[in-house]
Chains A and B, each alone.
Chain A
Amino acid sequence: SQELEQSPQSLIVQEGKNLTINCTSSKTLYGLYWYKQKYGEGLIFLMMLQKGGEEKSHEKITAKLDEKKQQSSLHITASQPSHAGIYLCGANTGGATNKLIFGTGTLLAVQP
């Protein structure tokens, strides 16, 4: 079965610093999703990547899917306290039911 591994598990950065979170799959990725979760709340959809080499940006967050489609990275530029939370990657498992599996998440803290 497919597995997603995220690294690092947790991250503390100073406000204004850049950071990268990685998501590595044991199998080829056909759809890769990034979500953000604040403590005690639901998941907020950030971006979806499908094609190898694809890159998408939203405000100061950029996500990439590598050419071989087995790894994705999420990069935050000039981090702010509002970026703090848990970042999760999810991936399609195939088939017509759009089931997703998820990584265990990366906890990001941004110190003012």
Chain B
Amino acid sequence: DAGITQSPRHKVTETGTPVTLRCHQTENHRYMYWYRQDPGHGLRLIHYSYGVKDTDKGEVSDGYSVSRSKTEDFLLTLESATSSQTSVYFCAISLDRVEISEQFFGPGTRLTVL
């Protein structure tokens, strides 16, 4: 158990509203990731972080922003939610060995944008 929690676990919102998802870890790992999971696409990386205030884009970053002001928290923000952002969002951490390290996942947040 890597001590990863996500909040909220479920959210329904309307198009055009801002949404923030939170990922919290208890073990001070350096690397954190946000993915979305959609049928037929598997898991796709949205953004990742390699330290406090150090973040970078993944393959599907358009429409999303992230912030990491503390080691334990990694926030994903949808500035203006769209229906195409309806998905299941997973946060992950990796152990602090670089290049080759398994990732451990949180329980996920199911987001529905109406």
Contact = CB atoms under 8 A, between A and B. Distances in A.
Chain A interface category by residue count: 20 to 34
Contacts, number: 69
A90 B102 CA distance: 9
A42 interface: yes
Nearest to B50: A97
Nearest to A104: B42
A41 B6 CA distance: 12
18 contacts: A31-B100, A33-B103, A35-B105, A43-B92, A48-B102, A50-B100, A92-B99, A96-B50, A96-B99, A97-B31, A97-B50, A98-B94, A98-B101, A99-B45, A99-B48, A100-B33, A102-B42, A105-B42
Interface of B: 31, 33, 40-45, 48, 50, 56, 58, 90, 92, 94, 97-108, 110
Contacts of B106: 42
Interface in A37-64: 40-45, 48, 50
A39 B35 CA distance: 17
Given A41-B107, A42-B108, A104-B41, A99 B58 contact: yes
A112 interface: no
A94 B43 CA distance: 17
A104 B40 contact: yes
A96 B105 contact: no
Interface in A60-98: 88, 90, 92, 94-98
A102 B45 CA distance: 9
Among A41, A94, A105, the one with the most B-chain Cβ atoms within 10 Å of its Cβ is A105
